[in-house]
Amino acid sequence: MSMKPIVREPIVITGIGLLASVGLDRETVWQAVRNGESQFKYLNGMRGIDDNEIVGATVDLGVPLEGRLKVLPMCERVADEAIRDANLDLSLVDPRRFGCMVASHMGDVRWVDQQLGLPTGDTGNFNWWEQWLPDTACTMLARRYGALGPKICHSTACASSLVSILTAARSIRDGQCDIALAGGGDSIDPLFVASFNQMRVLATDDDPNRACRPFDKTRKGFVFGEGAAMFVVERLGHALRRGARIYAQISSAKSLAQAHHVTSLDTESDALVHLMGLALDEAHLDPADIGYINAHGTGTVQNDAAEAKGIRQVFGTDIGHTCVSATKSSLGHMLSSAGAAELAITALAMRDGFAPPTLNLNDPDPVCNFDCLPLVGRHNQFQHALKLSLAFGGHLVAVLLSRWDDAATGYAYPAIRKAA
């Protein structure tokens, strides 16, 4: 059977599902982020090397699930929301042309805990196919929706779910499918806490809501977050034929390796500069065309400096036209799901013409010498936006979105209410 030819038409986003510590649905999370809200707290029973209390932003699903056991219900919830948002009738979708790209996460290890005599919170039997398998959510969702197209789960650290979006777009472009569910979910797990604690990259503060402060002179490290995000991604013709509303076009999606160090970043930012240049070239855009950048912005000393240097090298004097923010300051670092969650925020910011703030940015580091939207966001009806991920292991990803301005099939900018 021959493969369909390479698709030349635009690849678009038609559905978004999102949940995080600040809300259990897309619009609640978005409103919290744009309003500068966060819900960080000390994590019970978790302490750092120096006996500091570990800070995180957890998700409350209303049921007694802890740690890694939240991942599957979170992914299911946001996938359902994305499918509803896309107004997708699965009975009308060719299952062989329906892909599923969901990022890796910490698998269920209760069986291992049980063998070691550790508390599991559950005395029953555990599904063997979920033990240590990071593709469990991907498999579950493909079964749930009957997706028989390409099913792919990447493990590329905190770039994983952004790679899911890139992979969905490429699979559609390559003719392997017409539509895909793409994203990821992750949770705060004691194993993750222990490993990052050993690296001494976790931030602490007397006030948990101030611990995460990207681009600030006093930043100390990143703060854990939990959540999930999913997208319905499809080729334009498929979307229009079924009457879908379109958030944005994926104008470019690129990935490169920074072959430097497992956790350290190249301070010259050469690979990041090259990556952004490739993304702009593929989209046929200039730096001055980009109105908003959702930065990786972890709040570690090295990441923020390297990312800022790369952005400045690419954008130069054009950076004055661009708003940059780090929304981990509101949601925390959501690990494998971070890229997709922040791309969802980017798409919603584009829909509403509002660039969200970077919280706790009271004393900007001079190396981050551009507009990081400190403390409060701003109305900004931008047409193009860039989402960056700079993950451990040297995984660099850039996804460039362009607003879908067609009034009949897209979203109009909300009216801006002027203060009395």
Distance CA 54, CA 38 (A): 16
Distance CA 42, CA 54 (A): 6
Distance CA 323, CA 415 (A): 20
Distance CA 69, CA 4 (A): 39
Assess contact for 183 and 99: CB atoms under 8 A: no
Which of 274, 233, 235 has its CA nearest to residue 254? 274
The strand pairing partners of 20, in sequence order, are 23, 227
Residues 76, 79, 82: CA angle, nearest 5 degrees? 155
Extract the tokens encoding 182: 């793409």
The number of helix segments (H) and strand segments (E) in the chain equals: 11, 15
- CA-based radius of gyration for the chain: 20
Catalytic residue among 105, 154, 238, 333: 333
Distance CA 405, CA 411 (A): 7
Q: Biggest alpha carbon distance in the chain?
A: 65
For the question of residue 296 being annotated catalytic, the response is yes
For the question of residue 138 being annotated catalytic, the response is no
Per-position b or e across 75-101, b if 16+ CB within 10 A of its CB: bbbbbebbbebbebeeeebeeebbbbb
Distance CA 237, CA 172 (A): 12
Catalytic residue among 75, 138, 158, 372: 158
Assess contact for 283 and 251: CB atoms under 8 A: yes
Catalytic residue among 296, 368, 384, 395: 296
Distance CA 344, CA 240 (A): 21
Which of 86, 113, 108 has its CA nearest to residue 15? 86
CA dihedral over 261, 265, 271, 272, signed as positive or negative? positive
For the question of residue 158 being annotated catalytic, the response is yes
**Residues annotated catalytic, as ranges:** 158, 296, 333
